[in-house]
Amino acid sequence: MKVLITGAKGFVGKNLVAALECIRDGKDRREKYQALLPLEIFEYGIDSTPEDLDTFCAEADFVFNLAGVNRPKEASEFMEGNFGFASTLLDTLEKHGNKAPVMLSSSAQASLEGRYAGSEYGKSKLAGEELFKEYSKRTGADVLIYRLPNLYGKWCRPNYNSAVATFCNNIANDLPITVNDSSIELELLYIDDLVDALMGNLVGEVLRNESGFCVAAPTDKKTLGEIVELLHGFKSARGSLNVPDVTEGSFSKKLYSTYLSYLDPSDFSYELKMNVDNRGSFTEVLRTVDRGQVSINVSKPGITKGQHWHHTKWEKFCVVSGEGLIRLRRIGKDKQGNDYPVVEYGVSGEKLEVVEMIPGYTHSIINLSDTQDMVTLMWCNECFDPEKPDTFFEEV
């Protein structure tokens, strides 16, 4: 399949091109996209020539029209940049008798309702929609019109036409932000969800609403205040080690991915607080609200750590380097008044395995080496709370 993307260097265009390149190059091997191979991508952007457009329109099997003007110097440029180019594109397709399906990136502002009433940008988008509808009636070509809400995601240009991009960029890089009315609500669509919907067009997966417009879902409605609060939470998470809500499909998960993409490369890493003593070190790596915490434990040669038990807390230990022995014993006495037997697990970084620390069992971990540190990845089902430690000393 040959796919033409106008506005290929823009926010949506770059993300769509990258996704299609993964299919073309065999990196995205999902079965539903294999019918597109061999795949050729025609990228039309600001540096392309009329001759490029002519060639692409003659050969394309599908057209994504993402080109448009968002922030012109003069309001009149909206119509020229949005309606004008769309007209040129359709005229060129029609000249070649190419009835390939054409997708139009329109905007919610084309409704000209509510706060969009009188919008010059909306008027230009509405004119483009009418142009495409007339083209479809005249030629029989399938036209797919998307009235897109506010978009956000990686590679979106800050200080341009996206408040989310601006907030992400500025908060990530310690720059000031301005929110005149934190109660203003935005309908938001994540770039990956949009790209999934657009690529679905290529394999016959198209969702339309009652008005006939194509739909990319899901969207979220959030106020500016809610967005800023989340972003400040992301910013402070390095110090608290808290991981934001990353529930599948959640706005928080998508916004956090977006926020990270605005970090300066020099700021990708951050130090952790190592709790060091003569036995080695213990370092928390991350904390979650409802999935506990992850830590790294380093034990020096011959050292035994642990020797405690928990009522409710449980843990998972995985030695990733070195060699050790994990010992567990149920606390209390059996019916004969004897200690319960000790269970032992030999562990090594050469053979990764998880050993569970069970509630009601005292446990220890011993570094068996005389020369090498032992490194253990530890997960606990709850974050440590000094007010309720649920940790009680007892030798195994």
**345 in active site:** no
Which residues, in sequence order, are CB contacts of 210 under 8 Å at separation 6+? none
Q: Sheet containing 361-367: give its strands across.
A: 342-348, 323-330, 361-367, 304-309, 392-393
**By three-state DSSP, how is residue 39 classified?**
coil
Cα-to-chain-centroid distance, residue 259: 9
Q: Which two tokens stand for residue 395?
A: 């030798």
Containing 225, the helix (H) or strand (E) segment is: helix 224-240
Query: In whole angstroms, how far apart are CA 223 and each of 146, 154, 185, 190, 226?
Result: 23, 20, 4, 16, 5
Which residue in the list 33, 44, 121, 256 is annotated as catalytic? 121
- Give the torsion sign (CA, 101, 102, 106, 112): negative
CB 351 within 8 A of CB 283: no
CB 378 within 8 A of CB 292: no
Between the two ends of the chain, the Cα-to-Cα distance in Å is 66
- d(C-alpha 4, C-alpha 64), whole Å: 6
Q: Which residues are part of the catalytic machinery?
A: 121
